[in-house]
Amino acid sequence: MSLTTKYGAECVKALLEEIAKHPEVYEVPLSQHTTIRKFPPCAMVSWRGIISNLREIFIGLTSDDAFVTWRYMRLQYFKSSSSSWMWKRHMTFLDTTHRRRPMAVSHALPPSQQPRRREASLEDSSSPPIEASPALPQGQPRLDQALLNDAPALPVEVAALPALQALPHLPNYRPEADEHDAPIDVDGDWMEPMDQAVLELREEVDSTTERLEQHALAVAAEQEANLMMPGPLVLNGSLPYHPENQIFYENLENAFMRIGTHSGWEEHASELRRKIAQIVNAIHEEDE
């Protein structure tokens, strides 16, 4: 549903006025298939601020409705058939973002005026080389972007450990890839993909409590049959484990150590570590 139908023309006008204040938003190229999750991080932050400001006036406004309206209006602005469009005068800030190169008629120009192709030639050494910015060395991605790309995959790596999925009392954790690509709007509050993944991982840990308790009965039976060494062992003074689950706890310990090296995950990793330790200790108490 468009904003005009739901809130009227004033909402669309307010949306354009807010977007005009953020070049990092309206300079992002759009197509009919572009989605909000394709926005770069800086544009995403500004977009959330725009939606937050509009929600103070237009209650219930969603980011998806606003983005669909903005995408349609931006694409229509550059069409010659929409020169008399009623919103065109409110979108003049887009004039600086649409530059077309005359590549289609380059064959009709003299050779001296034709655009030069970028080819590695030994003869062409007249133009000076482009120096890379010292703040961003060439060939190296930004650190914050690298962490942003890597962080959503960490809980999936934890749950995808072979030893973790080999245990019969633990469910497999195979979320769809698209579920972690875009932020989610939960009761009006935006949730980053990293926070969403942590929340789902915490729910997975909580859901295994009952199955672990059932597994404790089987462990106690094995102890009575002398099939297992009595008492828990301790790995690096952290997670206790039984010998039969040694590989599982070693891999889980390594996974938590890796998660803890990323900014923002230390608190979640510590909380999950305590939760699993409590479950395992409860199993050992049942065994005793």
Mean pLDDT computed over 32-49: 87
Distance CA 266, CA 258 (A): 10
Question: Looking at 95, 126, 161, which one is the last position of a domain?
Answer: 95
Q: Which residue has the higher pLDDT, 97 or 235?
A: 97
* Nearest partner of 87 among 16, 7, 3, 25, judged by Cα: 16
Give the pLDDT mean for 226-240.
42
In the predicted model, is pLDDT for residue 223 greater than 80?
Answer: no
| 174 and 269 housed in the same domain | yes
What is the mean predicted confidence (pLDDT) over 112-127?
A: 51
Residues 203, 267, single domain; the answer is yes
Looking at per-residue confidence, does 206 or 99 come out higher? 206
- Predicted confidence (pLDDT) at residue 268 exceeds the cutoff of 80: no
Does 153 share its domain with 91?
no
Q: What is the dihedral of CA 256, 257, 263, 268, to 10 degrees?
A: 30
Residue 169 forms part of a structural domain: yes
pLDDT of amino acid 49: 92
Tens-place pLDDT, residues 46-69: 999 999 999 988 888 888 888 888
Q: Residue 165: its pLDDT value, please?
A: 53
Under 8 Å between Cβ of 171 and 208? yes
- pLDDT the model gives residue 76: 75
Q: 121 lies in a domain?
A: no
Which backbone phi and psi does 223 adopt, to 5 degrees? -65, -40
Q: What is the pLDDT averaged over residues 243-254?
A: 60
Say if residue 283 is in the same domain as residue 160. Answer: yes
How far is residue 173's CA from residue 24's CA, in Å, rounded to a whole number?
37
Bridge partners (DSSP) listed for residue 236: none
Burial of 94 (0-12, 13-18, 19+ CB in 10 A): middle
159 within a domain of the structure (yes/no): yes
Tell whether 51 and 157 lie within a shared domain. no
Structure-derived torsion over alpha carbons of residues 183, 21, 9, 85, reported in degrees to the nearest 10: -110
Q: Do 282 and 155 share a structural domain?
A: yes
**Residue 103 scores a pLDDT above 50:** no
Q: What is the mean pLDDT of the chain?
A: 62
How many angstroms separate the CA atoms of 279 and 213, rounded? 8
Q: Which of 65, 95, 125 is the last residue of a domain?
A: 95
Does 240 lie in the same domain as 155? yes
Same domain as 191, residue 69: no
56, 80, 95 - which closes a domain: 95
Domain that residue 229 falls in: 149-287
**Residue linked to tokens 């809980």:** 155
**CB neighbour list of residue 271: distance below 8 Å, 6 or more residues apart:** 202
Residue 166 within a domain: yes
For residue 215, what pLDDT is reported? 61
Residue 201 forms part of a structural domain:
yes
Give residue 73's pLDDT: 81
Q: State which of 42-46, 227-231, 239-243 shows the largest mean pLDDT.
A: 42-46
What is the total count of domains within the chain?
2
**Do residues 168 and 80 both lie within one domain?**
no
Together in a domain, 87 and 195 = no
Q: What's the one-letter identity of residue 207?
A: S
